[in-house]
Every structure is written in structure tokens, then in C-alpha cells.
Amino acid sequence: MSEWNTRKSADLYGINYWGANFFRINDQGHVEVKPAGDSGPALDLYSLVQDLQERGIRMPILLRFPDIIKARIELLAGCFARAIEEAKYTGVYRGVYPIKVNQQKHLVEEILDFGKAYSFGLEAGSKPELLISLAQMDNPGALIICNGFKDQEYIEMALISQKLGRNTVIVVDRFSELQMIINASKRLSIRPNIGFRAKLNTPGSGRWSETSGSKSKFGLTPSEIVRGVEMLQAETMLDCLQLIHFHIGSQIPSIQAIKAAIKEGARFFAEIYAMGASLKYIDVGGGLGVDYDGSGKSDSSTNYSEQEYANDIVAILQSICDEKKIPHPDIISESGRALVAHSTALVFDVLGSSEIVLKDFTLPSPDKESRLVQDLYDIYRSLSKENINEYYNDLVEKKRDTLQLFTYGVLSLEQRAKAEDLFRAIATKIVHIARGNPELEDIRYSLEAELSDTYFCNFSVFQSLPDSWAIDQLFPIMPVHRLQERPDRRAILVDLTCDSDGHINNFIDAESGGDQKYLEVHSLEPGHPYYMAVFLTGAYQEILGDLHNLFGDTDAVHVSLTESGGYQIDHVVEGDDVKEVLAYVEYNRADLIERVRKATESSILKGTISRSEARLLLEHYERGLSSYTYLSEESSMPFLPQQKKELSNGAYATNGNGPAGTDNTVHK
Ligand SMILES: *Cc1c(COP(=O)(O)O)cnc(C)c1O
């Protein structure tokens, strides 16, 4: 086998593709973050995680990199500025950040701070989000776009906010809202800035596409738009109509779909303008995709760059406006995912593993075994390249037989155990022989999926990667260290919840744009932690995350790089402790302790528990209520099954390859 190196790891995990120049592997074999691209400073994630743990920040840790947000804002604004300049388009670009993508206060503040130079605004999709926008936005040049379901209170607040100097546009998402806006405006004597959201017929594409046409939840049909224009005209308010908006869904993988939507949207714009509305803005919504797998050709990816996106939008608007001889509108986009996804990564430790691969199997006296075990043993011993196809089919059949014979009471538990071990040993051998042989790809693929090891990971899919569970979204996942070593195991990842859905068994494949059923990882080393990270988790995951099994928010840190090559921690956001998640479901700390205390009192009276045992129990109980909801490295050991077993020469041996990280005193 040839030598392994960090370049091979980079290819294997695709980091140079999905990393978007923000993430690299360094010479030590660690992942590093480079927010300003190749020429800027770098921060070693492995060392960072060690430093953070020394400061008492606990695994799993959500790492946020404000520098990446800055870079993404500059990228997007820069792409539009270039497109506009080159095309001699006469409008300007004005981005707004849709708060729903990640509402965390520090992150919103970072966006407004970095976006100030580009007059970046905010998009609110609900009343609470409008309340955030009104408080946080103090840049009079920036827009606040109000979308979503609106009631009178929402509309009045948006109107009055103009008196604070806020540049608020109320977008009519449903026809009935228009009358409410007109009424409120008369009542308050404030002229509104109104937008119309058009229902496009052009379908989006990909996993997140909105239902289009008459089925879509939001937007006005052509006939509603015509009636709306007439209504405003009758009220002499047509000058208030300033903006046309549309949104065809998130993570649009194909530029063709985007172009088709912009064309239709631009036609709406031109027609409404021709009806007498002095429109100033076109708002093309969100949908700008993130390349989660680096392939450039799947639903998890994009077949276009940010520059192409900007160029196409500008070119289409320009040509339609020029054709109709109307002024070029300012362009608003509501990119959320594309602004914040890269800025966050979740780092977690692997607590232990169970291994399926069986390298060696011998039966001391085969003739004493059941027919089935003997047959399997024969297959195992005589397996070769020539008979692999035939034996594979036998194997599948024997596997079915094993279960049936056991169910009928013909096969003992001990014989079933041997049969299953033999199955693993045969499968391991087949995979070994089939590797590198294109004709045996199918066989290898089906067996490899079954042979994947299980890595027990210290996080909750439901809390930290809800879209992985809910809609099978793929995220790039990889170890953050040991990348100069060949990964010698294939694993699926399971989380801490008791839910059988709490796992990740689909991983990106940057080369094919497909997915693969396992991740290549390194063997765990006793006494040494193994750190992995899920990247590009900054969009949607945090707020959709839930408290399944009462695993709460993780610790989060905002880390900025300094000029001198160091870093500083801007914020530490402590995750939930147990009593906080219990309070969400109405359990009160004092009450819980009181109940347990009473139970100990009566048991002391009955003599079933001693005073010192009772005290120990209460101490543990109180400490438990104040602890992190995830496992700490020291305490992880007793909870996890020591499932790793390796069979050599017919004997089970427990290998000490248990939970990693009992020694966390590694320093740089
Ligand atoms: C969710 C949403 C967005 C954000 O979309 P991204 O694909 O994350 O950029 C923008 N506009 C509206 C109306 C939305 O509902």
C-alpha cells in the first residue's frame, strides 16, 4: 500500500471543494480555518479545541467564525458590485439577511456590523423577527423587508418604525393584507412602503423548492396583483408600491432554475411598472445555494458560482428593463444560507466504537458444529476471486436461513452467534478481495454498508443537525486531526439519543456527487480523544434543533482571528444545563429535589437506605441538575457499552479500545 498523506485526506473528504477556501488541512494533519482565504491567517482547529476545553468549554462545541461571515458578505456584495459595474447597470445592490436562517443575537449583530459598508438590511418573516429587526437595525440606509403572515399589530409596528428612521418595506404576501395596510396607513397617517410578492409559475429545483404557482403558500396571483394595483390607484397610493418580490425556495442547485425564475419575476416587475407604479426595487428572494458536497452536480451542491448568480440576475433584469425602457431597479437579495452556513462548525468527540469487521476466524472442531455453521465455514475457507459471485449468493441465502432456523428452534443461540460471526468474517474477506475490481463493485458496496463500524458520538442529531434527520440533508463531516494517517475504518455515526433515528449513515461523496453509506475514519486510540466536526452548519440548524431526549443547546464560542496569527474569543454562549431543559417541560429544580429528598427520608425510616447513601444520592442528584446535558469525557466511560470485540483463533477478546478521551491533558 502506498504512503498516506494529508493531500489524500483532502481528496477523500473533499475539503478543498466544499471548504470554499475557508478550511484546509495543515502539515500537522489538522483541519485549519482560514477566513480570509489562502493568503490570510490560519487557525488550527485541533489546537483551538484543546485550548477551549482547558478554558472549561465542553464538548460538543459549536464554533462560530465571524470572520467567515464578513468574508461571505464581502463576497456577495462584491459579486453584485462587479456584475453591476461591468454591465453598466444603473441600479445598486442591497442585500438583506433573512433572520429566520439563524436568529442568534451575536450573529445578527455581526452581520449588521460587517454589512454596514454595503447597507445590508434585514428580512423579517414573523412578528418576533420584526421586533428583532426594529431593535437591532440602526443604519438608516439599510432596508427592513417585512414578509410572512401579518396582523394589525405587525403592520402598525412596521409603519410607525419609519418614524424612527427605519427604512421598512411591508411586502403583501396574501391579498387580504393589502386592505389592512391601507387602513392602518390612514389611521396613523403614515404612508407605507409597499411590496408585492408575486406567485411565480416557474418551479424551483432541489430538495427545498417552494411549491410554485397556485399551490404556493405565499404570493399574489396575476389577477390579485392587477386588483391590488387598482386598489392602490383608487386610494391615490400607487406611489407607495415600491417593490416586487419573489422567492422560489432555498438551496437551488441549478442556475437554469434561478434564471427562469428571474425572467418571470422581471416580467412581473416590468408589467407592474407599466401600470403606473414607480417601482424602485426588485427583491429576488433567497435560494443562492451552498456547496455542501463539493461536487458541483447534486442537490447538495450548486452548478454555479456566486459571481455567475449575480451576473445572471443583473443581465436578465437589464435586458428586460431596457427592452421596456424602464429604469433599472435596485436589486435586493435575501440570501441567508449562503451568508451564514460556512461560518459554523460543530466539533464533537467520539466516545467509543463497535467493530463489525472480523479479520480472522477458526473453528477448532468443525464437525461438532451445526450443518449451517459447517457450510459457512467451508465458504469462508474456500472463498477466492473465482467463486466470489457464487459464494456471495450463498451467503445471502445462509443469512436468511440463520434467522429462520433460530426462530423455529432448530438453531441454538450459540450456533447462531457462530453463524453470524462467520457471516462477518466472510463479508470482510469478500470486501477485501473485491476491492479494486470494478466487476465486483455492487457486491462490495452492499457488504461494506453492512460491515461499517459504529462510532458513538457525543452530540444529538436532533439538537445540532435537525435537517440531517428530517430531510436527509448531507453535511461535510470529517476528523479534525490525524489526517496524515490513513483512515483504516469505515463507520456510521450514532448520537447520544435513544432514538434509532439518531444516527448519520449518509455521507457526501465529493467525487460522484452521490452519497456514501459510511465515513472513512481512524481507529480509536485508548486514552486519546478523537475529534470530528460537522461543517457548514450555520444555516437553519440551530433554531430547528430540538430537545429530543432532553439534550440541550451545546456550548458555543465566537472565535475571531487576529492579525498576529492568534485568535480571540468574542463570546462564549453557554449551553443548557439539565435543570434548564427540564424547565422547558415544566419540571422545577427545587420541586424535583424535594421529591427525591422525601423518598430518601421515608426509605431511611424503613431502613432500606443509610444516611450516608441518601446523602450521596442527593449530592449526585443536585450536581446532575446543574450539569451539561452531554457527556463529559471523564464520565463517559461507565455509560457506554464496551462492544468492541475481536475474534482471533476462535476466542473472544475484549480489546481495550473503549471510549476515547479519558486523558484530556494533551497540550500543544
Ligand atoms: C427562507 C427565506 C429566505 C432565505 O433563503 P436562503 O435560501 O436561505 O437564502 C429568503 N426569503 C424568504 C422569503 C424566505 O422565506
Specify the ligand 1 atom closest to the Cα of 337.
Answer: 8
Specify the ligand 1 atom closest to the Cα of 100.
Answer: 1
What residue ranges in 18-157 does DSSP mark as E strands? 23-25, 31-33, 43-44, 61-64, 93-98, 121-124, 143-146
Give the residue, by CA position, lying nearest to ligand 1 atom 14.
Answer: 286
pLDDT digits 0-9 by tens, 552-609: 999 999 999 998 889 999 999 999 999 999 999 999 999 999 999 999 999 999 999 9
Q: Over range 482-508, report the average pLDDT.
A: 94
H/E/C letters for each residue in 333-345?
ECCCHHHHHHHEE
How much is the pLDDT for 646? Answer: 33
Quote the ligand 1 centre to 36 CA distance (angstroms): 26
Pick the closest to residue 401 from 416, 414, 386 (CA basis): 416
Three-state DSSP state, 283: strand
Give the residue, by CA position, lying nearest to ligand 1 atom 3.
Answer: 286
Least confident window among 119-133, 382-396, 437-451: 437-451
Check whether 527 has a pLDDT greater than 70.
yes
Q: What is the CATH number of domain 89-335?
A: 3.20.20.10
Specify the ligand 1 atom closest to the Cα of 338.
Answer: 9
Quote the ligand 1 centre to 392 CA distance (angstroms): 49
How much is the pLDDT for 451? Answer: 86
pLDDT digits 0-9 by tens, 45-64: 999 999 999 999 999 999 99
How much is the pLDDT for 1? Answer: 55
Write b or e for each residue in 596-616: b if 16 or more Cβ atoms lie within 10 A of its Cβ, otherwise e: eeeebeeeeeeeebeeeebee
Percent of the chain scored above 70 by pLDDT? 94
How much is the pLDDT for 355? Answer: 82
pLDDT digits 0-9 by tens, 400-425: 999 999 999 999 999 999 999 999 99
Check whether 636 has a pLDDT greater than 80.
no
pLDDT digits 0-9 by tens, 217-227: 889 999 999 99
Specify the ligand 1 atom closest to the Cα of 208.
Answer: 7
> Residue 214's pLDDT band (boundaries 50, 70, 90)?
low
∠ CA 474-478-480, rounded to 5°: 145
Ligand 1, pocket-test mutation among 145, 149, 334, 471, most atoms within 8 A of CB: 334
> Residue 634's pLDDT band (boundaries 50, 70, 90)?
low
Quote the ligand 1 centre to 241 CA distance (angstroms): 22
Check whether 485 has a pLDDT greater than 50.
yes
Specify the ligand 1 atom closest to the Cα of 245.
Answer: 13
Pick the closest to residue 494 from 643, 359, 300 (CA basis): 643
pLDDT digits 0-9 by tens, 163-181: 999 999 999 999 999 999 9
Percent of the chain scored above 90 by pLDDT? 81
Mean pLDDT over the full length of the chain: 91
- Can the peptide bond before residue 60 be classed as cis, meaning omega within 30 degrees of 0? yes
Give the residue, by CA position, lying nearest to ligand 1 atom 4.
Answer: 286
pLDDT digits 0-9 by tens, 463-475: 999 999 999 999 9
Check whether 645 has a pLDDT greater than 60.
no
> Residue 633's pLDDT band (boundaries 50, 70, 90)?
low
Check whether 652 has a pLDDT greater than 60.
no
Separation between Cα atoms, residue 268 and residue 200, nearest integer Å: 9
Residues of the chain with CATH 1.20.58.930: 366-449
Separation between Cα atoms, residue 264 and residue 250, nearest integer Å: 18
Give the residue, by CA position, lying nearest to ligand 1 atom 10.
Answer: 286
Ligand 1, pocket-test mutation among 73, 111, 123, most atoms within 8 A of CB: 123
Ligand 1, pocket-test mutation among 96, 101, 300, most atoms within 8 A of CB: 101
Q: CA-based diameter of the chain, in Å?
A: 98
Instruction: Show the ligand 1 pocket: residues with CB < 6 angstroms.
Output: 98, 100-101, 123, 125, 147, 247, 250-251, 285-288, 334-338, 539
Check whether 654 has a pLDDT greater than 70.
no
How much is the pLDDT for 217? Answer: 81
Check whether 665 has a pLDDT greater than 90.
no
Check whether 380 has a pLDDT greater than 80.
yes
Specify the ligand 1 atom closest to the Cα of 540.
Answer: 8
Residues of the chain with CATH 3.20.20.10: 89-335
Q: Over range 426-447, report the average pLDDT.
A: 87
Q: What is the CATH number of domain 366-449?
A: 1.20.58.930
Ligand 1, pocket-test mutation among 205, 250, 313, most atoms within 8 A of CB: 250
How much is the pLDDT for 640? Answer: 38
How much is the pLDDT for 643? Answer: 36
How much is the pLDDT for 648? Answer: 32
Check whether 396 has a pLDDT greater than 60.
yes
Give the residue, by CA position, lying nearest to ligand 1 atom 2.
Answer: 286
